[in-house]
Amino acid sequence: MSEVRAMRFDILAKTSADVVLTVEGESLEAAVLAALARGENFKGTNLAGLQVPKLSVSKPVCLEECDLSGINLAAADLRGCQLADTELPGACLSRANLSGSNLSGATLTGADLSSADLSGADLSGADLTGANLTRAILRGCQLMGAELTGANGSRADFGEADLTRGDLRGAVLGGADFRDCQCHGALFTGADLSHARLSGAILSQARLCGADLTEANLKKANLTGASLIGSRLSNARLTEADLTGADLRGCDLSDAHLDKAVLEGARLSGTDLSGADLKRARLSVTELDGSDLSSAKLSQADLSEANLTNADLSRADLRGAVLTGADLSSADLSDASLDRANLSGANLSNTDFSGTQYEQDRDAS
CB burial of 127-158 (b: ≥16 within 10 Å; e: otherwise) equals bbbbbbbbbbbbbbbbbbbbbbbbbbbbbbbb
Other CB atoms closer than 10 Å to residue 352's CB: what's the count? 17
Return the closest-CA partner of residue 290 out of 339, 250, 254: 250
Q: What pLDDT was estimated at residue 363?
A: 53
Return the closest-CA partner of residue 185 out of 213, 212, 146: 146
Evaluate whether 201 touches 218 at the Cβ level (below 8 Å). yes
Q: What pLDDT was estimated at residue 12?
A: 38
Q: What pLDDT was estimated at residue 24?
A: 42
The amino acid at 173: L
- The Cα–Cα gap between 203 and 363 comes to 41
Return the closest-CA partner of residue 135 out of 154, 120, 121, 111: 154
Among left, alpha and beta (phi > 0; psi -120 to 50; other), residue 213 is: alpha
The answer to whether the Cα torsion of 44, 46, 49, 52 is positive or negative is negative
Q: Which 8-state DSSP code applies to residue 2?
A: E
For 176-182, which contacts have Cβ atoms below 8 Å and span 24 or more sequence positions? none
Q: Which helix (H) or strand (E) holds 33?
A: helix 28-37
Spatial CB neighbours of 133, under 8 Å, sequence gap ≥ 6: 113, 114, 116, 148, 151, 152, 153, 156
Return the closest-CA partner of residue 166 out of 211, 128, 110: 128
Low pLDDT (below 70) residues in the chain: 1-29, 31, 33, 36-37, 39, 58, 360-365
Q: Which 8-state DSSP code applies to residue 23?
A: E
Evaluate whether 232 touches 209 at the Cβ level (below 8 Å). no
Q: What pLDDT was estimated at residue 212?
A: 98
List of E strands, the chain = 2-4, 21-23
Return the closest-CA partner of residue 205 out of 180, 230, 188: 188
DSSP assignment of 232-289: B-TT-B-TT-B-TT-B-TT-B-TT-B-TT-B-TT-B-TT-B-TT-B-TT-B-TT-B-T
What's the chain's length in residues? 365
